Every structure is written in structure tokens, then in C-alpha cells.
Amino acid sequence: MLDKIIEIKDMQKSYHRKMILDIDYLNFREGGIYSLVGPNGSGKTTLLNILNLLLKPDRGKIFYFNQEVNWALPDKLLELRRQMTLVEQIPYLFNTTVWNNLAFGLRIRKVSPQVRQERINRVLNLVGLSDFQHRKVNQLSGGEIKRVAIARALVLEPKILFLDEPTASIDQRYIDITEKIIKRINQQLKTTVLITTHDLSQAYRLSQEVISLVGGKIVREVPENIFRGEIIEDYKGKWLEIDKKVKFALVTEKEGFAHIYIDPRDIILSLKPFQSSARNTFFGKIVKITEQNHLVKLEVDIGVLMVTVITRESFQDMQLNLGSKIYLTFKASAVKLY
Amino acid sequence: MNFILEGLQRALHLIFTFDREVWVIVLLSLKVSMTAIVFASALAIPVGFWLAIQEFWGKHFIIAVINTLLALPTVVVGLLIYSLISRRGPLGILGLLFTPWAMIIGQFVLAVPIIIALTYSAVQGIDKRVRNTALTLGANNYQTALTMIKEARYAVFAAVVTGFGRVIAEVGAAMILGGNIKGSTRIMTTAIALETSKGEFGFALALGLILLLVAFGVNILLHYFQSKKVYIE
């Protein structure tokens, strides 16, 4: 197991007597990518601000590199803060050139001018803004501002990188690039990354662990089988179309694009199709088997990956193996809007 | 009517022939006001900044007092400082009265509240994200404060220039504290007052035109700084 880089114990924060954050325990391991998901106002940004030591929690302890944060020692806080950085959801760029923005943190860290220039060139290249060095920031578009802000964070080569909604308000093309960059710096520099996102599929694409925050509390069971698709309607009812091949019957009043999840325990496995009232039946192949205590988790490829959970007994009775072909059946009401 | 035209003619003649007496007065004016502004800025910018970022009991009262001081009559400032530095006053021993330094002190007192008030609103006006951005990039408290002032730089320059505009044009305090001594404490405004009453209309008008020119330059600068204030979303 990798070392714990951040650990939170019994932390609480409230504003105007309203509890914003209430976390019993949470840890992040060195070199991991973590996603923080949750509705607006669930405390994601507050948590990021606390983890960046910008905001002091009302109570509780935070550990970095297994050392407890001492809020009374500004020098220690500064030293810690210089090992991480945060890119805010709507980042602020200093009213000067792109180059000066990138050089800001390097100057503070007394990085030599030569190394400074090398690093700035490299990250601007990485975010696709090589020609923007001398551009004034008031000439940039919203998406470019965001990429400059990401570059300004990366140039510091932090041990921990916090990104608040890094891909909100940027073009699809750069969403892919940004995701690649996040993965690359995580692999090359072993940077621990924590991002907040509204896009659940992004969270799953990027990170080993998805932490769900609801009303300031960590929701342990992050739902699996999260899909995004468009709700369509035909004579047989409403469907969520994931792609051309896969669509789920569901019950909803909503229209347009939506995230849904299906509880793995709501899915019935069978070797043959069977007659039932359930409107969703798919045929697929088992691609992964994991044992969890007395349960077995199966990942089944039905055009998209579905996770199902069955008891060890059922698993043995059905004589399932990797590559076994099985039917998945679940009710339209098991398809829940996220 | 004629005397105005004659005066104007003489004024332009004095200006363009670089009359020594005129320029001695102009240079002293600039020197006194600039010195006052440098000292006033050194005190008022940090104070204005500190007021803007710090929350404490009685802050609103202090702001109200400073705003009141913006309208301080210059003769009252002159009077108060006179009482301190005149021979019989507590600081009389320093022998400051009727020296350029006395005028500098007067102008300093006039400029400080202006620069504090305008720096305060300049720093309040900067984006709330500046502070956190500097901190997340690793700045210490001092570097963060400097960054905030830097982001507010155009508005802070505007504060300094406004302060300069006020003190270069004031007459009351300079008259009382400097005494309008020829070659020593005679500045543009006090000279204009004296020469006009003496009937030296052309001389007064020459100084008046130069003073207007300085005021014009100050306003051009102000306009420039204000147009530079760009807000980035």
C-alpha cells in the first residue's frame, strides 16, 4: 500500500451555524487520482479550501505526510502549502502576461530564471498555449484562462494538485486533453490529484476512487453503474439511450441528458432468458470477477460495462467463469436518476 | 478688458522666455508637493491596505473619520500645524516654521486621508480571488499583500495622483506655514495670491497657466490609470 499523503479525522466546518462539512475519516494515498463528486452546495469547494490550508476547520485534525497540521505555526503551514496547489473553478489570473502568471509561483520558490523558462515552455506546450507566453490575460477566452490556470499550477510540480471542476466551461477537445494531462502528470511526477467534477463518467474515467459528498458528509457507497445518456420516448415508453446499441427502460418525467445509476444488487443474473415483468434484459460476457467477503462482484460487458453483485453461493451454483455468457435482468424502476 | 490681454501677453512671455523667478517658484512647488506625496504615500498606502483587509471593532468609525478628513479645510490644517511648530509650540525648537519643510508637513497631512481613503477603496475593489490565488501559489503573507497591491496598482496610482492634485493646488496651509518668502517658500499658489494683490497680473497669470497645465497633466495620468483598471472574469 502506498503512504497516506493526507488524512482527515473528525473534521467539522460550519458557516452561520449551518454544518457545511462533517467528515469522520478520509484519506488520500500518495500518487492516487481521486474524484470528489456531489451536488452543488455539498461542501466540495469548502473541503478543497481546507485541504489547501486556506480555511481552518472548526474542529478535527488533518495530517499531511503523517504529520498533524498545526494551525498556530504559519511557517509550517506555508511550507506545506508550497507542496500543493489549487486551481479554482473560476480561476483568477493576475492582470499581466501569461508568462508572469506562470512565473509567479516559481519566483516565490526561488527557482532559477533558466529552469523557470524551461518549465514554463514545457507546460505551455502541454496545455497547447505555446504561443501565448507574452499575451496579456485580458485578451484570453474563458477556456484559455482555465488552461493557463492549470499550466500555472502544473509548472510548480506540486506533490498534491487540487482541481475544482477542471473541465467545466472548456471545449470538449480540451476536456480530453486536460484529462490526458492529469493522467500524465500523475504517472510521470507521481502527483496526487484530487478533482471535483459534476461529470460522473469523468470521475470514473480518471480516478481510482470516487468520493461522494452529500450535505457535507462522505457517502460511503458510491453508486456503481453510473451512465450518462439521453432520455428518449417511443410508443413503448421512456428510455435512456447510452449509445446506439444500449438503452435502458426507465421511469422518469425528466427529459434530455441525464445521469442514472443502477444498484448492482437490483440486477438478476440468469443463464437463460426468462419471462418476467422486468423491462430490461441484456446478454453479455463476464470480463472481471472480484470477491468481496461473501459476495462476488462481476463486471459484465453488454456493450457497456455493468457491475453486478451476487452471493458466493449463487456464483458457485451457476458455475460462472471469466468469459461466461449470461443474461442480466432488471426493472425499469431500478434505473435511478443520479 | 485690455489689462487681461496685456496680462496674458506678459504671462506667455514669462513662460516662454523661461523667466528665472517663475521657474524657481514652479520647481519649488513641485519639489514640496512631491516630497509631501512620497511621505504621505509611504504611510497611507499600507494603512489603506490594512484597513481594507482587516476586520476589527470600530473600523467603520475610522473610515467615517477619514472620509470626513477628505474635506479638511487647508487653512485649518495650516492653523493646527502652525500651533505645533511655531516658536511657542511643542515642536518650536525644531525651527520648522516658514521653511519648505513646514509646507511639506502641511501638505502631507492633507494628502494622507485622501490616499488612505482611495487605497482602501482600491483594495476593496480588487477581485476577492486574488488573495487565495496568491496563497495557493505559495505566497507568504507579505508576498500576498504585495500581490494584492500590485493587482490594485492602477487604482493606487490614481490615489497618489489625486493626492498630488490636491496638494499642488492648495494655498491656505502653504501660506500660513511657509509664509510666502521669496526664493525660499514662495510656491505657485501663494505667489499667485500675492502677485494678484500687488497688481502683477501677468506674473500671476503665468503661474496660473502653469498650475493649470500641471492639473491637466495630473488628470491625463488619472484618466490613464482609470482606463487601465481591467476586470478579468
Question: Mean pLDDT over all residues of chain B?
Answer: 91
B-chain residues near A91 (CB < 8 A): 129, 133
Number of domains in chain B: 1
Structural domain range at position B72: 20-51+59-232
The answer to whether the beta carbons of residues A90 and A145 sit under 8 Å apart is no
ipTM: 0.74
Q: Is A109 an interface residue toward B (CB < 8 Å)?
A: yes
Dump pLDDT digits (tens) for B103-128. 999 999 999 999 999 999 999 989 98
Q: Is residue B2 part of a domain?
A: no
Q: Is A52 an interface residue toward B (CB < 8 Å)?
A: yes
Query: Which residues are CB-neighbours of A268 under 8 A, at least 6 positions away?
Result: A278, A328, A329, A330
Q: Is residue B14 part of a domain?
A: no
pLDDT above 90: residue A11:
yes
* SS3 category, A135: coil
- Provide the pLDDT for residue A293: 65
Determine whether the interchain pair A138/B230 forms a contact, defined as Cβ–Cβ distance below 8 Å. yes
Residue B176, domain CATH? 1.10.3720.10
Q: Which residue has the higher pLDDT, A13 or A201?
A: A13
- Provide the pLDDT for residue A220: 64
- Provide the pLDDT for residue A290: 82
* A40 Cα to chain B: minimum distance (Å): 20
Strongest mean pLDDT among A196-210, A301-315, B215-229: A301-315
Name the pLDDT band for B4 (thresholds 50, 70, 90).
Answer: confident
Name the pLDDT band for A262 (thresholds 50, 70, 90).
Answer: confident
* Percent of chain B scoring above 90 in pLDDT: 69
Average pLDDT over residues A69-85: 93
Q: Is residue B165 part of a domain?
A: yes
Q: Is A108 an interface residue toward B (CB < 8 Å)?
A: yes
Q: Which residues of B touch A (CB under 8 A)?
A: 127, 129-130, 132-141, 143, 147, 150-151, 230, 232-233
Dump pLDDT digits (tens) for A153-192. 999 999 999 999 988 877 778 888 888 889 988 988 889 9
Name the pLDDT band for B232 (thresholds 50, 70, 90).
Answer: very low
* Grid cell for residue A338: 443520479
pLDDT above 50: residue A22:
yes
Give all strands (DSSP E) within chain A, no chain letters. Answer: 4-15, 18-29, 33-37, 59-64, 67-68, 84-87, 160-164, 192-197, 209-214, 217-219, 226-234, 237-241, 247-249, 256-262, 268-270, 280-292, 295-301, 305-311, 325-330, 335-337
pLDDT above 90: residue A253:
no
Residue in A with minimal Cα distance to B130: A92
Neighbours of A16 (CB within 10 A): 5
Q: Is residue B11 part of a domain?
A: no
Name the pLDDT band for A1 (thresholds 50, 70, 90).
Answer: low
Q: Is residue B97 part of a domain?
A: yes
* A114 Cα to chain B: minimum distance (Å): 20
Strand A59-64 to strand A4-15: parallel, antiparallel, or no bridges (unpaired)? Answer: antiparallel
* Percent of chain A scoring above 70 in pLDDT: 97
- Provide the pLDDT for residue B118: 95
* Grid cell for residue A77: 503551514
- Provide the pLDDT for residue B222: 85
Average pLDDT over residues B83-87: 92
Average pLDDT over residues A205-233: 81
What are the two backbone dihedrals, phi and then psi, of residue A156, each rounded to the nearest 5 degrees? -80, -10
Residue in B with minimal Cα distance to A155: B137
Q: Which residue has the higher pLDDT, B136 or B233?
A: B136
pLDDT above 60: residue B230:
no
- Provide the pLDDT for residue A216: 85
Q: Is residue B8 part of a domain?
A: no
> Which DSSP string corresponds to B54-75?
---TTHHHHHHHHHHHTT--HH
pLDDT above 90: residue A99:
yes
Q: Is residue B13 part of a domain?
A: no
Q: How far separated are the first and last CA of chain B, in Å rounded?
A: 57
Name the pLDDT band for B2 (thresholds 50, 70, 90).
Answer: confident
Determine whether the interchain pair A105/B233 forms a contact, defined as Cβ–Cβ distance below 8 Å. no
Q: Is residue B122 part of a domain?
A: yes
A-chain residues near B132 (CB < 8 A): 49, 54, 86, 88, 92
Question: Mean pLDDT over all residues of chain A?
Answer: 88
Determine whether the interchain pair B141/A74 forms a contact, defined as Cβ–Cβ distance below 8 Å. yes
pLDDT above 50: residue B231:
no
Question: Where is B38: in which H helix or E strand?
Answer: helix B20-53
* Grid cell for residue B77: 490644517
pLDDT above 50: residue B208:
yes
Q: Which residue has the higher pLDDT, A245 or A80?
A: A80
- Provide the pLDDT for residue B233: 34
